[in-house]
A and B are shown apart, each in its own frame.
Chain A
Amino acid sequence: MQIKSGSRLLVAAALGAALVAPASAQTIKIGFHAPLTGFAAADGKSALNGAELAVEEINAAGGINGRKIELVVVDDQAKADQAVPIANKYIGEGLKIVVSGSYSGPTRAAAGVFQKAQIPYISSYAIHPDITRAGNYVFRTSFMGEVQGRAAAKFIGDIMKKKNVTLITLNNDFGQSLSAGFKEAAPKFGVKVISEYTYAMGDRQFGSIVASVKRDNPDMLYVSGYFFNGGPLVAQLRAGGIKTPILGTEGFDTHNFIKIAGPAAEGVMITTSLDRDSKSPAMRKFIDDYEKKFNTPADMVAASTNTAINVAAAAIAKAGSDDPAKIRDAIAGTKDFQVSTGKISFNDLGEIYKAAQVQVIKDGKFHHQATIDDPQLLAPPMK
């Protein structure tokens, strides 16, 4: 029985190898996990779109040294407990590099596994600080929450010249790290946090926060969250008669935010890494190609996974080998690389440096408002 099933397996493996051999000798496989179902499925879809666009364009341009790349996509449901089995599956299949298109929970859990196996791992847009602390094989292509929060403080204090700010913070690692960065930098720019309210991921009704903001009467609001809670929140603030200017975060960086908030979205500003009016050819090309391919405007999540796949592909090309250690070194050496999210470089911790964009919503579209390029303020932590 044992021998029989074993030989059957061998036959199956041989058959399988024969069928895929012509392609697999050529293709380079990149692992990619994202929340394709579950509460974060909307971001998962953008994440996959952005990554697929990158693969398509890299392959159309001849691939990497003549070899095509291929994504090995797995759904992680944005759940941390799914991440470790997924990581082990990728390692078992012999993948040499993996990109996370997911949230902090699963990305943080998988980072340690990849570090141990010495497989390069790039987090596209998960923001928890511990992710890159897993070790030298883990990189991140998005802003850390703290960095984006500092950029927001500078924008409100230096450019908007507002003083008294109320924070409305999403009660998870994303919202809290934004809030921490903001509060740390606020005094430097003469900004005073007069009150802060927090809300949970599932909240869609914000009546008590609206009433409280009305009482506090701040000069400006700094609001974190995602489009699905930020959209209703902004709409309810405006419907409650509050005309205070609002600065949001990259979680609102999707046209779905504008659809939900409707007329209330007009004039809302966000900090992000995608500049819709950009003159950078790489960013411009991504925005145009994405809209053409998917018939929907690009967003921050898609731009981030697109960037991560491009970083991975460029590193494999530069390493000139499938050796994970060489690929790691190539990623770490990425400097002033022009991608969909701007000009990027990594520091020793594997964190990214790039300029922060402030976009404003006008006539139902994102437009350029300001660019914050301050290497000292936006420097990611080194450890």
Chain B
Amino acid sequence: MYYAELLLVGLIWGCTYAMMALGLTLVYGLLRILHVAQATVFTLGAYIGLLAANYSGSLAVAFIAGAIAAGALGPLIYRFVYQPILDRPPFVALVASIGVLIAMEDGFRLLFGPYGLSFEHNTWFTTTYSFAGMTMNLVQIWMVVTAVVLLSAFAIFATRTRAGVAWRATVSDPPMAESFGISVSGVRYVNFLIASVLAGIAGVLVGLLNNLVEPGMGSVIAYKGLAIIVLGGLGSVPGTLVASLALGVVESYGTVFLDKVLDRDAIAFLFLIVVLMIRPQGLLGRR
């Protein structure tokens, strides 16, 4: 039972990672940019969601506000940070992205104070359900439900809709897609919009789960997100999902059984190194 509970804990973590890492994979697939500043979008979503919740008293409003704020910030970062340097080598964009992350971390601190903020009425956290000796709270349940619903919606969008086909065409061959009348720039904005909305919602959920929204909450998940997309095979969406869940589970067991030797965050990178030694192309990547 104990091991089953650890597995469940790991899968919940995996869902958080999946919502963050999918956006990173999308951006990487389209522009070959390692979008570290996604963590800024995640943190902004959490802050706006928290302020909306404390102001309105409604968690539904929190998710809508968080998603809108994040959905606005992501495309703005693309327009004003990445677009002017798209013709440079990819590491230029990576450095710019890290710059945004670090600057915004202290920006959040100036705006919202250094102590971090908490939800006044985090009813989802205190509502718990017990079954078979395991206890889950409503935030954890929503984390899983939201991840499954949003990621399935994305899969349907990518495979069944015209916009989704246009998006995939742009990923595989931008000039060819453009010659078929697809607006490459439009696809890029939609790409950042989807990635950012997912990150913003993940931010609100993580804020609820910790009952704490703090300036630096994005930095760990940003770098772990990079580990996940490499682990999944760069640019592979199914690989990213598998890697997210796998990492969540490895961390869940690792924090209990390897805690004397390794930090939880070190486990992520050790796992990455081991997998890359065995499968250099990533879990589901193609050679």
Q: Which residue of B lies closest to A241 (CB)?
A: B135
Q: Does A198 contact B260, Cβ atoms closer than 8 Å?
A: yes
25 CB contacts below 8 A, A to B, read A39-B216, A41-B114, A42-B115, A44-B114, A171-B259, A197-B256, A202-B220, A203-B264, A205-B13, A205-B210, A207-B9, A207-B252, A208-B255, A208-B256, A209-B255, A211-B9, A212-B256, A228-B212, A235-B211, A239-B135, A240-B128, A241-B130, A260-B210, A262-B122, A262-B125
Any A CB within 8 A of the CB of B146: no
Q: How many residues of B are counted as interface, with CB atoms below 8 angstroms from the partner's CB atoms?
A: 40
Any A CB within 8 A of the CB of B178: no
Give the secondary structure class of B's interface. Answer: helix
Q: Mark contacts of A69-80 with chain B using CB atoms, 8 A cut-off: 1 yes-contact digit, 0 otherwise.
A: 000000000000
Chain A residues in 8 Å Cβ range of B116: 42, 228, 256, 260
Q: Which 8 A-B pairs have the closest CB atoms?
A: A207-B9, A41-B114, A200-B263, A211-B5, A204-B210, A42-B114, A42-B115, A232-B210
Q: Which residue of B lies closest to A204 (CB)?
A: B210
Any B CB within 8 A of the CB of A29: no
Q: Which residue of A lies closest to B106 (CB)?
A: A37
Q: Does B114 contact A207, Cβ atoms closer than 8 Å?
A: no
Q: Does B212 contact A231, Cβ atoms closer than 8 Å?
A: yes
Give the secondary structure class of A's interface. Answer: helix
Q: How many residues of A are counted as interface, with CB atoms below 8 angstroms from the partner's CB atoms?
A: 36
Which of A200, A205, A208, A228 has the most CB atoms of chain B within a 10 A radius of its CB?
A208
State the Cβ distance, B258 to closest chain A Cβ, in Å: 10
Any B CB within 8 A of the CB of A259: yes
Kindly state the separation between the CA atoms of A285 and B75 in the bound complex, as whole angstroms. Answer: 52
Residues A211-241 near B (CB distance < 8 A): 211-212, 214-215, 228, 231-232, 235, 239-241
Kindly state the separation between the CA atoms of A214 and B10 in the bound complex, as whole angstroms. Answer: 17
Known A239-B125, A241-B130; judge A260-B252 contact (CB<8 A).
no
Q: Mark contacts of B233-247 with chain A using CB atoms, 8 A cut-off: 1 yes-contact digit, 0 otherwise.
A: 000000000000000
Q: Which residue of A lies closest to B214 (CB)?
A: A228
Q: Does A208 contact B135, Cβ atoms closer than 8 Å?
A: no
Kindly state the separation between the CA atoms of A205 and B134 in the bound complex, as whole angstroms. Answer: 16
Kindly state the separation between the CA atoms of A260 and B216 in the bound complex, as whole angstroms. Answer: 16
Residues A183-213 near B (CB distance < 8 A): 197-200, 202-205, 207-212
Any A CB within 8 A of the CB of B79: no
Q: Which residue of B lies closest to A239 (CB)?
A: B137
Chain A residues in 8 Å Cβ range of B215: 41
Chain B residues in 8 Å Cβ range of A41: 109, 114, 215
